[in-house]
A = this chain, B = another copy of it.
């Protein structure tokens, strides 16, 4: 049963459908039918072909298949940052939906780099994938037009700008900021700080405006200060904390637009002897994996990553399978508040 390891100067070659046909004593087309439309083939023939496939260890050449069929069976997903567990959740959701639909899902990591995002769009375009799900950077959606012009189906996830000419799945970022601020006010905090985040990032802006609206609606006596930062990393959180400590005027509630940032803040504050949440309650954003593992588990706003990936794949498949009846739409999901000990001690 065990195949002989081929000698190194006799490179192994995968058997072709022709080999299978010969072995099963049927024609090439029949083998193809067994693979693609078994319902039109007799049970006996299927069995013979299946046996031949098994014996030969045949795997279909997907390049030839895609070329002949004019489309591939795989779907590409381009993520902004695989280091952020939100995107990992999106990938998992999309993966599940893809495999139950009999499609393969290939990932690419743009690593928060616009040029890589564009390059992976081209790679998937060249590969003639059936469709692409893109978690785009704010930087621009030029590549989207480019690949769509080639007839490639594409769905945006997590951010979609104001595009309505393709499907998208986004989260109500404004509402997330609103939830976070409301929570801090609910637990009696009144001197709020929205800490960090580049001002040119759409998501950060929306979250900040949500927080502003919450304070406005709630009104009486609650203040909301804003301190921007270069990025959303932990070091930015630390430097904002040091700035606050130097100034000596601490807020009693901090909203950070990213868990990383919140972690840096909490870290630096507790190091300086400030009690979290006693003196300052801190809430993050994203519900990253480490948010629950931290020594002070972090309150945060959770995005439904799994559902985002699932929905995005579903929209994409509809576009692929029903090109005529498909209508582009935007699905907006709600974030949810997760309360842990960085805002409410036990």
Query: Besides the contacts A62-B127, A63-B67, A82-B82, what 17 more A-B pairs have beta carbons closer than 8 Å?
Result: A11-B151, A11-B323, A12-B149, A57-B149, A63-B72, A64-B67, A74-B123, A82-B107, A95-B111, A107-B107, A234-B293, A260-B293, A263-B293, A264-B293, A267-B297, A270-B295, A290-B294
Instruction: Say yes or no: is A221 at the interface (Cβ < 8 Å to chain B).
Output: no
Docked-complex contact B106 and A108, CB < 8 angstroms: yes
Q: Which among B3, B5, B12, B61 is the interface contact of A128 at CB below 8 angstroms?
A: B61
Look across to chain B and name the residue whose beta carbon is closest to the beta carbon of A259. B293
Instruction: Say yes or no: is A85 at the interface (Cβ < 8 Å to chain B).
Output: yes
Docked-complex contact B267 and A150, CB < 8 angstroms: no
Docked-complex contact B150 and A57, CB < 8 angstroms: yes
List CB contacts (< 8 Å) of A218-246 with chain B: 234
A interface residues, how many (CB within 8 angstroms): 68
A-B contact pairs, 12 of them (CB 8 A): A3-B145, A12-B148, A13-B151, A59-B122, A64-B67, A74-B127, A83-B85, A91-B109, A106-B106, A106-B108, A106-B123, A107-B107
Instruction: Say yes or no: is A66 at the interface (Cβ < 8 Å to chain B).
Output: yes
Number of copies of this protein chain within its complex: 2
The residues of B that contact A88 with a CB separation of less than 8 Å are 82-83
Instruction: Say yes or no: is A190 at the interface (Cβ < 8 Å to chain B).
Output: no
A interface residues (Cβ-Cβ under 8 A, vs B): 3, 5-6, 8-9, 11-14, 57, 59-64, 66-67, 72, 74, 82-83, 85, 88, 91-92, 95, 99, 104-109, 111, 119-120, 122-123, 125-128, 145-146, 148-151, 165, 234, 260, 263-264, 266-267, 270, 288-290, 292-297, 323-324
Docked-complex contact B11 and A289, CB < 8 angstroms: no
Docked-complex contact B106 and A92, CB < 8 angstroms: no
How close is A95's CB to chain B, nearest CB, in angstroms? 7
How close is A249's CB to chain B, nearest CB, in angstroms? 23
